[in-house]
Amino acid sequence: MALKQIMNEHQRLVILRLLGEVPGFDLNESILQDGLNAYGLDISRDGLRTQLAWLAEQDLVTLDKVGSTQKAVLTARGEDVANGRAVVPGIKRPRAGE
C-alpha cells in the first residue's frame, strides 16, 4: 500500500474521531487541521478541504459554510465508522479497544 493511501485513510479516521469527541459533533476546519497536526498527520488547508469533501460524498459528514471557513458535522453513519461499527473502504478501521 502506498504511503499516500495510508495517510489518507488515517486522516479520514482521525477527522471522524475528532468530530465524535465534541458536543454537537461539529468543528471548523481550523480546529480539525490543528487536531490532525497534533496526531502527526500534517495536512494543508487545501488537503483538509479535499478530505472533508470526500467524507461528505460518503455521507459521513455534512459541511456548512461559515464565513470564509467550513464547519464539518458528523453524521450517524460517520459516527458508526469512527467507532468501528461500519466499514468504508478508504478509511482506516480502528483497532479493537481504541
Domain that holds residue 48: 3-82
What CATH number is associated with residue 54? 1.10.10.10
- Residue identified by cell 458535522 is 73
For the whole model, what pTM was predicted? Answer: 0.95
Residue-wise pLDDT for 54-91, tens only, equals 999 999 999 999 999 999 999 999 999 999 999 999 99
Are 17 and 80 in contact by the 8 Å Cβ rule? The answer is no
DSSP for 13-48? HHHHHHHHTSGGGEEEHHHHHHHHHHTT----HHHH
Residue-wise pLDDT for 17-55, tens only, equals 999 999 999 999 999 999 999 999 999 999 999 999 999
Contacts by 3-7 with C-beta closer than 8 Å and gap 24+?
6/92, 7/41
Question: What total number of domains does the chain contain?
Answer: 1
